Every structure is written in structure tokens, then in C-alpha cells.
Structure 1
């Protein structure tokens, strides 16, 4: 029997669940609430609207799917989301007020029912926002995040899809933060839901330290907040690329563009406070989100922009978001740790009230696996459109570390590029890129030196696993197996060699090696 690591309760086995429709019908009672209708469904489960039959209070019920209800990691993450928001208790964060388990073993929690739309949807409909409209929304988001940080919690997946906008009768915009499912309790390694070296989040909004799989704190949210600010004002992500690997490498090493260079109508005075949030060094970022927004407000006022204290819906429309086609914000990036035998749906955030899963959206999945500080990144996209034939998914590639027990080895789901070029289709080699510490690490395939980091280095394309060794003078070599079926980025860190010093002979004249 498998038990939950969070509370010790028994988890339901996949085989004990019926395979037919598990949807809850109207009138079904969950906890103290009666189901009204299903309002959304995704790979992690389903969301229903419900009502309390006595007091008439409306609520939303999020039910974890059977396969994840049988997965201790996912159940622990599900419980952590409910626990995190209740530790914060801020009006700018969706409220979760009950938790339980259905008779069939599926986990659920009950949360407030929101009516409105995500910030991502709002931007897609409205286009980029004027500073006077964007900053009041950002101020409220910043206050909610600061409240989370004060409670010792970092969100780690801030993006427009995880901000829900509620509009009151006066037209005021009230943002609510969603999806604390990968939130990290700061300073508590036992609460971390990912292995060291595993990036979790969304590449367009990931901090450099998160992309590299390093330990993160609240400052990763400040970087993501800066990315959101840039998108809201310019309609463009900070970085784009041919594939997700390019985006993550840019987050780590490229200089971000100033907002005014993307949209000349944005006052140049706003560039500095935005770029400070996007500093590669976490210590160089503002200490809090309130401080970051205050700097943005001062810059706006210096440019003679009147910033209202309350966010309102404006009737003025700027040009719609014009994202690059293969980096559209319609794409759903799911950077998620894939467990063996578990199929991950790219919809990491279930739709809230009034939303439904849009089957026609293109889906981009990045599966990241990490073992002993090594993250191997699959490159490219898997895109699905209702008018196109489904692409065949390549076989899974497993990359266990030679220095880690097999049970800790995760699975990489390779993703291929949609509509590859003719040259790419016939290429017999793959590219191997390395982000190494120290720099200039030598890379070997057996006894043959392939070259020096960062590359790119070339390997013959194939399905047979190869062992690649990384070596540098004064450091311990490290070997990992890879399957060269596609381009790969490997962040790797070598440990320094520890010098062994023999103890000097004792001059006391005593013999310590005698048996008495």
C-alpha cells in the first residue's frame, strides 16, 4: 500500500479505479457542497462549481485525477497548494477553505469561485496596456506576492495565466494569484517538491537561477514579475528563441531589452526599474515587490504619467499581442517533473469559473529531468492543432545519473520540432551544449575528446545510450549517460578535488600499532 508523504493517508491504486466516466453529476455531495456542473478539466483533474445547500455559498471544487491521487509526489504538491494559500491568507490570493478525499480515493479541495478571466486572456483581448492601466494591477499582484514571501513562501511559477482578474460592478480590476502547486516554503528543504537541479516553472518567465536548477528564494518571483511587467507593457516576452532551450539559455546569459526599445511610445524612464527586476544576480534585484512597484510609479510620474491608485478596466485599446508564432502566449508551457509511467497533461492550471479546456490551443511541453544536479533539456515543441494530423511521439529517453540510485532517475519525454526544415530532417548529428562550472570543461566520449564546453559539440544521432564524461583539472570527473536522439543542453557542475594530506609521523616515540 502506498501512503501520502504529507499526511500518511493511504493512496488509491490505479488498478482499483473504474475506467469509465468519473465525472461527478449535478446533485452529488462533496463535503458540505452540492455539485452544480463541471467548469473545467485537465490532466491534473477537474473543477466543478458547487453550492452549499443551507447557506447558499458558491464554491469551486478541484478534484485530483485518479493517476495523480495514486502518486505521493503529486498528492503532496496538491496538499501543499492548499496549505500554502492558507498560511498566506491574503485577499489577493485565491482562498482554499476545505480539503478531503472522495470515496473512490481521489483528493479534492474546495476554493472560492471566481468569475472573470486570466491576465493572459485579458492581454490577448485588450492588447498591451498603458502604464497607467498596468501599474495599478501590478501593485496589487506585488502586494499579494510580498504577503506570500512574508509567510515564507515563494510562488515559483508567476505568469499571466496564474493571475485571475475579477471585475467588480464599478469596473475595478481585482487580481487574484492562482496555482501555488509548486510553491516552495523558503528555508525548508523538506517542503521542496522538486529534486535539486530540476527547473520548475515556465521558461518565458523563469529566473536564471531557476533555469539552471539552482536553489531559489523569493527573488525568483521578482524576476518573473519583471518578465510579466515587460509583457504587459510591450506585448512581447523578454526573450524568444527557436526552441525552449534557446529561451532558457537567454534567461541565463542574455541582456534583456529595454521596454522602450521594443515599444518607442513607452517612456524611457520606465526602463531602469523594469531592468532592475530582470537582473541576473538575485542580489541586484529590488528587495520586495512593493519596492519594485514604487520605483515603477516614481519613474512613471517623472514621465508625467498619472498612475491611479485603483486598477480599472480601460476602454482604450492598444495593438493586440503580436507574439512570435511558435512562442505565442496561447502556448501552454509545462515545465514539470515527469514520473515513470505517468502521462503529464500540459494544462498545469485548471480553468476557473466560466472557463473550459480549449482543445484547439497549441500545446508546448517541456519535460525536464534532473539527477544529482544535472538537468537534460529536451528541445523543440510538440504542437497540436485541430486541423492537423497528430505527430507521432518519439520513444521516451531515460537519462539516469551514474552517481544516483536508479529509483531517483527521472524520465525525459523528448519533444520534436513542429514542421522541421528539410535540412533538419536529414541531419545525422545532434548538438550537445554544456553550461559548465567551472568553464571550459573538457567533454569526452569514451577515450575520444569531443571538445570543450560550452560547445556546441556534435554527436551521431541514434537511439543507443552513450556515456559522456566531463573533466577539468583540479575537479572530479563526472560521467552521465545520454541518448543522442535530439539536441541536448546539459548544465553540469564538477566538484573540486579534495587534496589528501598524510599525517606526519609522531615524534613521541610511542608505538600505536601494538596489540596488547
Structure 2
């Protein structure tokens, strides 16, 4: 490590970490404050009990700290591709900053640590020269220790373009043009300075809604994602290659501004059609398509009435296999978009032809899909008569379940082959946690470059996993009747034994506030465990195995599923055990529940049955539900994101998959299908 230390100390001075005046924090959004308000100023959550939580009890190490007397860390934002991200307020310049704290030890190899430290400094040096407002700037790199660095960047208060796409499916032409033009504008200055992004994709583009000027796009992680890949070349092409240029998919390819133009063309295609240009269930097939497959037309997936033909012509140039046939850089893309806009105005077409209203059956039918699979009619649909079938076209299942990513399982799970006994997918599909038959846990990044982490094993086979994402704690339980807790930041040492419930544990869930667990057992009990008081209480007892338990957000209810297929909710009342008459029944399943998830508002639930069929329920109007045939996808777990999008974890013998489920469009049809679903 001496060479790494010498380099770092030669370029960076170490900063001093001290305590700030912030003393307490909100457990919901992690906002810190020194005063004692009734409501959190960030998320408006009420004060929990008599006092807010003390910062020293938080799982976020840098929360409430002051770095070098210049940055006061006041909120944990989340885990990024290369490190944890916090918000901080500048003491000299009173504005928020984003601090990405990178611990190079996470990769476990000295050569990677040294290369990562060197390239972090190079990237900050390069990006600090850019002044384009559509680029998230990096201002400086500071050092906490030999292996821990802090990148100071712009703080962006918005959502990623991927989150927006997952919420509404596809964008209108006018908004699409505005976003792509702004991104190309940001790329132009970088290209002029010889800087290539190399990872343009919807989740690297932030969208802010401005008060008076519409949307404002900013490019994230400028060069950082490629830097991480370049120091992990032994891992091969990692992540989702849906937006990679042909030259990126070939080891001999030469990268340049034309590579960013191609990736931006893939993003433009996705915004207009609701899907990337090439989508298959295996990453290698996608990469081969970028290199060899014909360039798709917009009008293979949407009506010519929805988008002017000029955009299809532009996309054919941006997606050209030969880099010399593409617009040469971001500036050229801006000029071509401006020329299209002028041509449309000259013809009196400020907007393209007739727009399809959002939420209609026409729009759902126009959106094609990523996965080539059978298209069975949705069971329970209103098409019940033979004459109806000949006159109407049901929405095929592959338009609803879409493969987002497919990565190879880590070698430690393949050699020797391990049987997966439990699995969990994190909110938004960012990561997965797997338990294998060696009784060990593994944390694997799905949307990020998070290195696989394995945790100490326990005495019994694990059958249930849940995660407290705010505190970074993983809970697991199984055959030895005990619930255990691991910390995501600590891979060594034995896990903490939380509670022994006296029976095999089949399912677990953690309350959004992180203070309670709900546990389902093989002897037919649903239990609540209070992590603060250590109190274990039954809330429901049945003669059947409890296979699924989920807290319902914004309520005191728990969603329960038993082996018979019975599904319902029960109210949590301290010291009381509900009987069958107090269970609010939902439409029974055709088979046992394999897993489930409840939306962040508590109004929608998704259940995966043992047959592989997926059901989406309206939790308010309990008769409204929709069956989705998804058995061709190897789904194993479900998760809603904070924005309401639904993801599923898929698992094959060799691959870990992330699937996106367009439940927002399905929910719009629930009320119209409820009468058919109950007949």
C-alpha cells in the first residue's frame, strides 16, 4: 500500500472530521437538525415519540459530521455505483453539495485501490474544467484516510430519466427533444475538451422540474462509471449494455465522441418508443445486436402519426454501425435537432400528429417489448366471448414484463453449484441479497458496479430475507427458528442473533421505519417483533403455513398470505391476536404465494403465485385485481421503488436477472376489469 499512500499524499491533503452542531436526525429521510421541531423540515414526518433519534445511533457513519470545516453532512442520500452519497451544506458557500465517499478497500485488491485513487483525481481534474449547466460538476477530491476519498459534486434535487420512464412508459415528442438536446449540449463541451462520457443511459441523466422553464436535464457520473469498469477488466462487460455502442461491445473498438452519440441515440429511441432499440433476455445477445443487427425503425413500435419521420431518419444516423456515419459529437446532434424543429415549424407542426392519450388501451398496445416470449391472453380479462376475441386484441404479457438486466452469478455460487434458498431484491432493483445452501448471504449489485459481498454463515438454512435499506441492515431467518442481523458495511464477524421465535421462519419483512419486523412461521403464526423493546407478539394464528407477510405503508396493517392461497390484511393491535373474522379478505390466489410487495402508498399490492402468475391488486377496491401471465420469466422476488415502479428478481442456473413490470399501466385498467375478474 506504500505506493498508493505516496501517490495520494503527494496530491491530496487529509481533511479533519469533527462533530457539527447537528445532534438528531429524522429516521424517515435521515435529515439532521440541531433544533427540536414537531415535523421534519425535509419530509414533514412527525417527531417519533418525545424526541428525534440521536445521530450517534445512526448507521450512517458520516451523518452530522463536518469535513475540513467546510462541509456539514446533513442527510444520507443513498449508495452510488462507487460509494455512499451524502448531502452536505457548505459553510463558506451556503448551498447544498453531494459528497460521494469512496472507500477503495471495497474492491479487496491493492492494484484496484491504487488505480481507483489515481483515476478519481484525474476525473475530478477533467470535470472541474467543464462549465456547461447540463453537466453535474465535480469540484474537488479530498482525502479522509489512505483508502477513503470524498468527491464533492453538484447536488441535484430531481429524479433520474430512468425513474421517469418507469413511471410513465414513454415521453411526448416535445419533452423528449428538450431533454436530448440538453444532454447533447452538455456532451458538446466535454467532447470539445477531449472528454468522453462512455456510459450515457437514462439512469445517468437527472431531470429537474423547474418552476418556470419546464424540465432541466443534467448528466451524472461523467466518466466515473467507465473508470470503474476499466479497473475491473477481469469482470468483463458488466451492467446493462442496452445503450452501449458497437465499438464498446468489441474489444478492439476505438471509443470517441461518436460512442456517446450512439448511446444518446439509444436513449432517444427509448424515450420515443418506451423501449431500447435492442432488448433480449441475455446481455451477450444485446451486445451482438448492437454490432450486427439491422437498425430498428421507430415505426416498428409506434404509429407514424405519433412522431415525425425526421426523427426516424436522425436515429438511423445516430445508430449507424460505422462511427463515421454518425453525427460527429454532441454539438452536431444539437444542430440536427434544431434543424428538425425549424422544418416542423415551417410546415406549421409545432407538435407531431395526433397524440395518444396516456392511460388508454391504444397506448398500451402501441408499446412493444423487450422480451421475445409467448403472448397468452390475460386470464380474467373482459374478452370472454368468442366474438370478442376475434374483434379485439388483448395486451400481450411481454408488453408488461420487461427484462432490464442480466448478469452472471458470482463464481462462488457456481463452483461448486449452490442452491439458492432465499432471495431479496432491493427497492428500485438496485441490488439483490441471496442465501445459499451453505447458509451464507451474498449481496450483489444489479444496477450498479457494487462488488459482490458475502457475509458470515449461520447454523440453519435461511429461508427468508429482508433489508432495512435506511440503516443498511440485512435480516434473515430459517430452519433454526432464529432471526439474524448482518450489516451491509461489515462482511467479517458473526451476525447478531435478534430473536428465537420457536418455529421455522418462512417469511420476513421490515417496517419502513426500521423498528419492527413481521415474521411468518411454519406452525401458522404471524408475529411482530419490536427491535427497540425486544417484545415478540402474535398478531394472527392459523393452522396453515404463513408464506408471505408484508407491512402496508401508511397504515397499521399487515398483508398475509397462507399456503392455501388465502390472502388478506390484518390490523396490528398490541396485545391482541386477530381471528378469521378480523381478516380483510382479498381475492384468493390459485396457488400459494411465492412472494409479494406493497406499493409505497399502501394502495397497490403485487403477488407472485407459485405457478409463476403475477397478480396486481387494488388494496382499496379489493374486488379489483389483474392476473398477468409471467410464468415464462423466472421471477423470484418483487419490490416497489419509492416512485411506485415495480421490479422483479429473476434467477436461473447461471444468471441473476432484473425485470421491470409496467404496473402503472395495469393499475389504470383494474377498475374496468374488476367485474370480469369476479365473475
Match among 209, 218, 221 for residue 176 of structure 1? 218
Shift of 1:281: 0.5
Match among 275, 280, 285 for residue 326 of structure 2? 285
- Shifted more, 78-87 versus 146-155: the winner is 78-87
Q: Residue 242 in 1 paired to residue 281 in 2?
A: yes
Question: Where do residues 106-117 of structure 1 align in structure 2 (5 Å cutoff)?
Answer: 106-117=148-159
Question: Where do residues 15-414 of structure 1 align in structure 2 (5 Å cutoff)?
Answer: 23-31=60-68, 32-42=70-80, 44-53=82-91, 55-65=93-103, 66-68=105-107, 71-103=113-145, 105-182=147-224, 199=237, 202-213=240-251, 214-264=253-303, 265-299=306-340, 301-302=342-343, 304=347, 306=349, 317=358, 319=363, 323-324=369-370, 331=404, 345-348=445-448, 385-386=637-638
**Distance of 1:262 and 1:198 partners within structure 2:** 32
**Distance of 2:326 and 2:96 partners within structure 1:** 41
For the residue of structure 2 that corresponds to 1:208, the secondary structure is coil
* 8 Å Cα contact 2:185/2:334 also seen in 1: no
**Distance of 1:296 and 1:138 partners within structure 2:** 9
* 8 Å Cα contact 1:207/1:224 also seen in 2: yes
Q: Residue 4 in 1 paired to residue 4 in 2?
A: yes
Shift of 1:56: 2.8
Shift of 1:48: 0.9
* Runs of at least 5 residues in structure 1 that lack an aligned partner in the other structure: 12-19, 186-190, 309-313, 362-380, 395-413, 420-516
For the residue of structure 2 that corresponds to 1:225, the secondary structure is helix
**Distance of 2:648 and 2:368 partners within structure 1:** 26
**Distance of 2:407 and 2:651 partners within structure 1:** 19
**Distance of 1:152 and 1:198 partners within structure 2:** 25
Task: Please name the residue that 2:393 is paired with.
Answer: none
* 8 Å Cα contact 2:261/2:327 also seen in 1: yes
For the residue of structure 1 that corresponds to 2:260, the secondary structure is helix
* 8 Å Cα contact 1:156/1:200 also seen in 2: no
CA-based RMSD: 4.5
Q: Deviations over 1:259-288 (max 9, x none)?
A: 122211222232111110000000111122
TM-score, length-scaled by structure 2: 0.45
TM-score, length-scaled by structure 1: 0.58
User: Cα gap change, 1:35/1:155 in structure 2, threshold over 3 Å: closer, same or farther?
Assistant: same
**Distance of 1:59 and 1:23 partners within structure 2:** 17
* 8 Å Cα contact 1:182/1:193 also seen in 2: no
User: Cα gap change, 1:418/1:101 in structure 2, threshold over 3 Å: closer, same or farther?
Assistant: closer
Task: Please name the residue that 2:655 is paired with.
Answer: 415
Shift of 1:254: 0.3
User: Cα gap change, 1:202/1:81 in structure 2, threshold over 3 Å: closer, same or farther?
Assistant: farther
**Distance of 2:658 and 2:240 partners within structure 1:** 20
* 8 Å Cα contact 1:332/1:346 also seen in 2: yes
**Distance of 1:233 and 1:109 partners within structure 2:** 34
User: Cα gap change, 1:356/1:222 in structure 2, threshold over 3 Å: closer, same or farther?
Assistant: farther
User: Cα gap change, 1:192/1:88 in structure 2, threshold over 3 Å: closer, same or farther?
Assistant: farther
* 8 Å Cα contact 1:94/1:178 also seen in 2: yes
* 8 Å Cα contact 2:406/2:658 also seen in 1: no
User: Cα gap change, 1:254/1:6 in structure 2, threshold over 3 Å: closer, same or farther?
Assistant: farther
**Distance of 2:350 and 2:449 partners within structure 1:** 31
For the residue of structure 2 that corresponds to 1:146, the secondary structure is helix
Q: Deviations over 1:353-390 (max 9, x none)?
A: xx9899989xxxxxxxxxxxxxxxxxxx9976358999
**Distance of 1:195 and 1:87 partners within structure 2:** 28
User: Cα gap change, 1:67/1:231 in structure 2, threshold over 3 Å: closer, same or farther?
Assistant: same
* Runs of at least 5 residues in structure 2 that lack an aligned partner in the other structure: 12-56, 372-397, 412-441, 451-468, 475-596, 600-632, 640-646, 660-679
**Distance of 1:99 and 1:316 partners within structure 2:** 47
**Distance of 2:406 and 2:246 partners within structure 1:** 17
* 8 Å Cα contact 1:260/1:267 also seen in 2: no
